[in-house]
Chains A and B, each alone.
Chain A
Amino acid sequence: MEEEPYLEIYLDRCMNQDELASTSSHLFSPIVPYDSYLHTSSNQETIASPLEPSKEPSTDLSSVDLSFLPDELNQENTEQTLTEGKPGVEGNHEIQGAPSRVQSLNEKDSGGICTDDFSLSNSGLNPLSDGNSTLPSPENSSSGFFPLTSMTPLMPVTPVSEGSGIVPQLQNIVSTVNLACKLDLKKIALQAKNAEYNPKRFAAVIMRIREPRTTALIFSSGKMVCTGAKSEELSRLAARKFARVVQKLGFPARFLDFKIQNMVGSCDMRFPIRLESLALTHQQFSSYEPELFPGLIYRMVKPRIVLLIFVSGKVVLTGAKERSEIYEAFENIYPILKGFKKA
C-alpha cells in the first residue's frame, strides 16, 4: 500500500499542531449523508492497525487543523465530529475511508471502462467541495476541489479524462524493424514451419507466431513489418521473436530501428449518431458517402488522426504513431459527438 507513508507524515503533522480545538466546531457540515462512506468501511480493518499506535482517540484528531489537506480528507474528519455523539462509533474508520477510496480509485483508473465508478466517486466527492466553502480557515479558500490522486503515486498516463470516461482500446499496431542482413527467403520458407512464401504473388515471406498472435512480412533486404499486436510492448516482443527465429535459421539478424508506424484503436459511444448532421456541420473534415461506405470518415487535423464514425456509435481511430494521439483524438471528438446524441 503506497498510501501508508503519506498517512504517517500527515499524522505526524497533526501531532505537532498546538492550535487544535478552535476550528473543530466549524467543520461540522451535514451535507453529505453519512451512509455514502460506509461502503469503504469494509477495507478499514487492514489499514486500522498501523494507525493505532500513532493515533490518539478520535476526539483528538477531530480537533486538528486540517486546512492544508485536500478537501475530502477535511470532510472525513468533519464526519467524525458528527459521529462522536452517535452510538456505534465508526468515526475511527472515516479517516481510513479516504486512503482506501484513493486506492480503489487507483485500481479502477488503470484500465477498462469505469464510467460508473468514476461518476460515483465524483458525486461522492463533489458535495465535499461545496461543503468546504463554509470553512473559515484561509488556506482552504484557495484550494478548490483537487483530486485525491495528486496526493498519491499513480500509474503513468491515466487515459480516463473527466469528460468521457471511455477509453479507446488498441486493436492493432503496425511496426517495422531492420534486421540488417540480406535474407534468403526460399531458405526461410523451407526451414520455418510458420512461414509462407509465394514469390509470384508477393515478394516477402509471411510468418506468423502464436504468442503474441502476430504476423510479420519479412523482405529479402532484411526489413520486416510486424502487424497484429494489441499494444506497443507486445509489438516489440513479437518483433524480437521473429528476429530470433530468423537468427536461429542461421542469419546474422540484428534488431535495429524498431519503430511503430501505425496504431488502430476503437471504442463505443453507446448512443446512435446522426451522421448526416455531423457531415453537414463539420464539412471540412468529414467525408460521408453512404453509397460507398456506411461510416463517416473524419480527418482530424490536430492530432492527425482519421476516425471512422458509425451510426451505432462505434468509433475506429487510426493513423496514430503514439498512444496519446489516439486518446487525444477521442477526447476531441467526444464533445462533438455528444452534441449529436439527441436525434
Chain B
Amino acid sequence: MSGGGRSRCPDCGCAELVEDSHYAQSQLVCAECGCVVSEGLLTTTFADEGNLREVTYSRSTGENERVSRSQQRGLRRVRDLCRVLQLPSTFEETAVSYYQRAYQHPGLHAARLQKKEVLVGCCVLVTCRQHNWPLTMGTICTLLYANLELFSGTYLQIVKVLGLDVPALSLADLVKTYCSSFKLFQPSPSVSVSFVEDKEKMVSRTLQLVELASESWLVTGRHPVPVITAAAYLAWRSLQPGSRLTCSLSRFCKLAGVDLPHPAYLRVQELLAILLRMAGQLAWLRILNLDKQTVVKHIGDLLQHRCILLRQAFRDGAEEEEGEEQPQEEGEEAGSSTLEVLEKKRPASSPPPLLPPCMLRPPKRPCPTPADPSITGDEDISDSEIEQYLRTPREIKDFQRAQASRQAVPGAPAPS
C-alpha cells in the first residue's frame, strides 16, 4: 500500500522509501540510511479502529505477505464455497487447512489454475465427507463449472498425497437432503394440489425404497443420485396413485425442480422388476396379475414386509431358498407362474437368484483362450514374415507421390 506523493529522506536525500510495518504500525523507512521518515502517515489499523472502521485480522497482520497471491485467492475461494453451500463454520477451518497442506505439494503447487480451482472443491468435499455432510461431486462440479474428469483426477490425487481417510457418502443423509430440495411440498402455479405431498411421508418411503434397492444389488457400483431419483419418483406415485400414476419420470423431475439423471430410467425399471417379484409372494396380490404400472399402488404393502418378501422371492446366490411352510411353497410356485408370464426365462418352480443386474445378463463375448504355453520367445523369425510389413520401392514412390499431391491441395490433413 504505497501512498501517493513520495518525499525524499531528510537525512541522506535518497528517494528510496520503503513502507515497512513495525509491530503493525506502518512506517516509511529510508532504504539507504534506515531513517524513519514517517510513522502512521498512511492509515493504520489503530487509526481505522479509532474511527470506528472495522479491519479484518488478515489485513492487520503480516500473514498474507508470506502467502502467495495465488494461494490467497484459493483460500478465499474455499471460504466462499463453504458460505455458498451454507456449511457450518468449523468446516471452513478444516477445508482451509486441507488446501494449505495440499498447496505445499510440488505436484499441486505447480498445477494450472484450472486444477487449483478444482482443488478448492476437493478440499471442501473431503471436509464434508468427514463430517458426514452429504455433498455430491456433481453439485461441486456444477458450482465450480469444472468437468468431472479433472475433478476426479485431482480428488484421487489429493486423497493419496495427503493420506486422507475419507468415509463413503452416506446414502440416508443424501436421500434426506435430496428430497428436501424437491418443490413438491407446497402448492404452486406449476404444482397442482393433487401433486403436493407431505415431506415426512415421502422421505421415509423413499428411504425404504433405497434400502430395498441396496439389498437387491441395485446400488453397488452405481452412481447414487439416479437411484434416489427413481426411488423418490416411485414413492411419490405410490402415495397417491389415483392421480399420479400417469405422471412420467421427466414430468416428475420438472415438477420437483431437479435435473433428471439419465440412468434414473433404468433404475426405475429395475426397482419395478424387484417389486413385481416380491408381489408374487403375497397371496392377495398374486391373483391381481400386476404389471409395472399397477404394482405402484401396492408399494406401501410390499415395503412393509420387504425383508421377508425379498428373501422369499429370490434364492440367495447359488443356494435354493425353499419355503418351509406350505403356503410359502405354493406362493413360490404361483409366484413363478407370474414370473413366467412376465419374464419367460426362469425354469418353473425355481426362484431366480438375487444378483446384480450385470451378472444376470448373458456375457457378450466368449472368454478368450489362454496363451499357448510352448512359446519360448526365442523362436526364429522368418524373413518372409518381416517382409510382409515393408513397402516395396515402387510402393514407396507411389506413397510419396500421393502424399505430395495431398499436400498440394490447400487445407489437406497432415500426413500420417
Contact = CB atoms under 8 A, between A and B. Distances in A.
A192 B356 contact: no
B345 interface: no
Nearest to B165: A283
Given A190-B400, A272-B355, A342-B317, A237 B377 contact: yes
A26 interface: no
B371 A170 contact: yes
Contacts of A240: 377-378, 381
Contacts of B416: 189, 196-198
Contacts of A272: 217, 220, 317, 355-356, 359
Interface string B218-240: 01111110000000000000000
Nearest to A208: B389
Contacts of A295: 221
Given A189-B416, A190-B400, A287 B156 contact: yes
Given A170-B371, A234-B375, A193 B168 contact: no
A343 B217 CA distance: 9
A337 to B, nearest CB: 13
B378 A191 contact: no
A233 B373 CA distance: 9
A166 to B, nearest CB: 12
A291 B396 contact: no
A126 B175 CA distance: 53
B386 A294 contact: no
A298 interface: no
B221 A311 contact: yes
A48 B43 CA distance: 110
Contact of A290 (B221, B318, B391): B221
User: Per DSSP, are chain B's interface residues mostly helix, strand or loop, or mixed?
Assistant: loop
B375 A231 contact: yes
Size category of the binding interface on chain A: 35 or more
Contacts of B356: 272, 311-312
Interface in A212-234: 230-234
Which residue, of A233, A248, A283, has the highest number of chain B Cβ atoms within 10 A?
A233
Contacts of B223: 290-291
Contact of A343 (B169, B317, B373, B414): B317
A111 B156 contact: no
A55 interface: no
Interface in A270-327: 271-272, 274-276, 279-280, 283-284, 287-295, 310-313
Contact of A280 (B152, B168, B355, B387): B168
B50 interface: no
A241 B217 contact: no
A233 B375 contact: yes
7 smallest CB-CB distances across A and B, nearest first, come from A236-B377, A233-B377, A294-B221, A311-B221, A231-B371, A230-B371, A311-B220
Given A230-B370, A290-B224, 11 more contacts: A170-B371, A198-B416, A232-B377, A237-B379, A241-B386, A287-B159, A289-B156, A292-B148, A292-B156, A294-B221, A312-B359
Interface of A: 110-112, 169-170, 189-194, 196-198, 200, 209, 211, 230-237, 240-241, 244-245, 248-249, 271-272, 274-276, 279-280, 283-284, 287-295, 310-313, 341-343
5 contacts: A190-B391, A192-B391, A209-B389, A294-B221, A343-B317
